Every structure is written in structure tokens, then in C-alpha cells.
Amino acid sequence: MTFPRVHAHFTVHSGHLCYGELHNIWQGALAEPTYGLTAVQPKVAGTVTTQELDHNVSALKGTWNAFRLIDTTKYRLAGWFVAHESVDVLQEIGKILRVSGSPYEEDSGSQYNDEKTMNEGVLVINRYDGGLYDKRALDVVGEHEFDPSTFAPRIGTGLVDYAEARAQVEFWKDVPEDHRDEEQRPHGLWLDVPQNEYLFGRFGFDEKHSAARSFLFFGIQTVFTQTVIAGMQQPLRKYETHEERFQRRLQEGYDFRGTETLKMMAVPSRLGPSPVDEDLLGPHTSDERLFQEGDFAALLRQNANNLDFVDPWRDRVEFLLNELLMSYLERYILPLDRSFSTILPAAQALTRQRTPQQNESRTVDFYLFQYLTQPHEDPIPDWDAAAVAARVRAFLLSRSGGQLGLFSNDDYIAGLCRCLAWLIGEVLELASNGAKDSYRSNIMPVDVRIAVCNDPEIFSIFKHSRVYWDGSE
């Protein structure tokens, strides 16, 4: 049996720890002691997200042990784990990595302090939360000031008893940074992770969230699936193939809707303003669905690179795709019936009203015009066109006050169905590419949302679907 090997230890007698680079520690010693786990609100400035921290935390009194984390593929130091002597080391690291591990690894929890980290008792410290990105007390300590824009690497951080912090900083100032970890001190420890440009810290708190009991320190190059605690053989995270990860997520109920990703991607500068709530359409009832499972199967075979939907998400993907289609019909097709009695002018109006690029070939409008005016060209194998046409006509009539108009024209309805099939075929092709890029063998709602968002023309057609935005499928 193997056990974690203690590399060093120090004592906390004040009930608080200061942490960070030297000027951060000094600032932590100047600030009033922090009691318990407190909420930290991330602040966004351009592309950088920071969290203003006090650089001190309440901490369990007594002996704290430090353990080296070793990269088993490169046989070098990959990080540190420091914990009160009462802590179950493996259990504690496992919890921290589950709640907020490396932002560069899959399924690593929260990247910033949020409700989940608060509830689980973890304080998240990221690369922009200290060092030279927080210059408080820098002029007092007198550390050599690198320009963060040059990406000068931070290679270490200190953990020091609050009562001894300033004396410890004075001592460390005279020691080269890459040698500070060699100087054992009774009330502090310097942790360094060489060859890592960005460093991260995670404090784990006790069950009452009143005091920190552990600290995980790692860098951008730390890969926890190939990292062990010195003295142990088992990696800190289990390696999974992409398919194993996908199947595990399915079993655990992972959220594959992708609504949060959509909110980040749908920026007005690229796609224009998103519709206001009053302009959103749906959701519709399940008995109004235009495409059934067999219809999607035919389109998947033709467009989706041999990918399929998968339970328990199959029905939700089909529901979302139907919502896109029904919102399109309501937004763009229903108004045409009141203005035109023949197919050609209706097709011309449809393809003009949505984009100023109607004269450019091979746009979405080009194909919509082609299929609306030539509905029987290029038939889809195994596609039940008559059944789809009956459902599309019934949907339109239910919202037209029973007035037939163009909806009585079989060729017009057939053309609409062919347009809908082409649109969904395009979405499925893009979504299948997205699923493959995510190393998944099945299309999920997130792939549909991203596919629509990534194509401005298709986005303009489907953006009025309420379900597309709120994820209520």
C-alpha cells in the first residue's frame, strides 16, 4: 500500500493564512482578517475576468502538510497540495477537482467563484487574481515589477501564517524566487511550479465553511489525469476516452441544451440584436410537430455524416428542430398568404424580405427560391412528402383563420415542405460537424443551437423561436 509523501510542513497558530506573491501576502497582512468563506463577485474588463481578493483566509490551526504533485509523463513537479494534518488528502483533492479543477480540462466544474463553489466550500483563485495583476502593496514590498503584457511567468506563491506574514516577506525578499521553496520556515511555505506561465489556487474549507483546511496549487500545464501525489501511483483524475466521457455525461444527466453557450455566442456585433421577448414565437404543442421521427431519420441519412440523435435527448432535439420550423412559418410564411395568390411572387417576396443579398447565388435565399418554385426536383429518399405536407398545411390553416389562399395550392405546400427539409438538412449538417468537433457520436441540442448561431443567414430565419433561446424543449 502506498501513502502520500509529506514534503514539508508548517504551523498555523493565528487561525488565518496569507497567500500570493510577496506583495499580495503583505496586502493580506494589512487587511482585516477574513472570517469564513465569503462571496466573491467576478469582474469583467474586456477579455479579462478578475476577482478582488483580500489575500487572507481563515484557516484551521495546527500543522499543515505539503505534498508535491508529480507529472508521470514528464517526471517533473506539476503542482502542490497543502492541507491540515486532519484532512483526508485524496478525498479532499477529489472534491476540489470536481467543484473547480483546471479550466483546461473537461468536466472541471466552475471556473470562478459562484453559488456552486460557495455551497461546496471552495474558494477559487485564478491567474488574474493576484501577482502583478493586483499591485496593492507592490511599492511597499519593492518586488521587481514585470509588465504583465510581456507574459513574464509567475512561478510561485506563498502560504504564511497571518501573524508571521510581514516577517516572512522580509525574509523571502532576500531569497531568489526559484530558491524560496528550499528555505524551510516554521510558519510559512513557498510553493513553486516551474515552466508554468499561469498559476491557479483552490482553497478547500471545512464542513461549516468557517476555515480553510486545504490548498491546491497548479499551473496551466498541470494535467490531472497524468498527475499523482508523490508516494502514490493513482492519477488524481481518471482518464476517459471521448466516448466514455459522453456516455458518463448521459448517465449523470449532463445539460446538453447549450443555452449558456448560445448567450455568449450571439453577440449583436456579429448577428445584430436578438429579438425582444414580444417577438418570440412558441412554444407550440406536441401534436403540431411538422417532422416526425421517420422524417428526421431520412434527413439524417442524407445530411448528418452518419450521426444520429440519442436517448434520452432524441425527443428534445426533434422538439427543438420542430420549434425552429414552426416559428419560421409563423414569422415569414403566414404573412405571405394574405398578399399573394400565386407561387412566383410569393417566392420573390420571401427571398427579398429577409436579406439584401437576393441577387447573390448560392445563398440561403437562392435555395429557398429554388425549392419553393421547383418542389419536385431532387427528391429526398424515404421522405414521406405527402404526410409532411398534410401536417404543414394543417399548421398554417390553424393560424390563418381557415382561409385557404395559397395554402390550397398543393405545389406551394410541397415547395414549403421542401424548403423546410432543406433548412433542417443544413442545420443537421452543421450540427453533425459540431458534434464531431466535440468528439461526440450523436447530435445534441447544443449542436443545433451553435449550428444556427454560426450561420448568420440561418440564424436570421430561426432567431424568433422562443425555445431556441430559453431551452425549454
Task: Read off the DSSP letter of residue 308.
Answer: B
Computed over every residue of the chain, the mean pLDDT equals: 90
Q: Write the single-letter amino acid at 127.
A: R
Asked if residue 154 has pLDDT above 60, the reply is no
* Average pLDDT, integer, range 295-322: 94
CA dist 132 and 146 (Å) reads 7
Backbone angles phi, psi at 57, to 5 degrees: -135, 150
DSSP 278: G
- The three cell numbers of residue 371 are 425549392
Count other C-beta atoms under 10 Å from residue 243's C-beta: 11
Q: What confidence tens digit (pLDDT) does each residue in 13-52 have?
A: 999 999 999 999 999 999 999 999 988 888 887 777 888 8
- CA 110 to chain CA centroid, nearest Å: 9
What would the pLDDT profile of 220-248 be if each residue is shown by its tens digit?
A: 999 999 999 999 999 999 999 999 999 99
Torsion of CA 312, 318, 324, 330, to 10 degrees: -130
Provide the residue count of the chain. Answer: 473
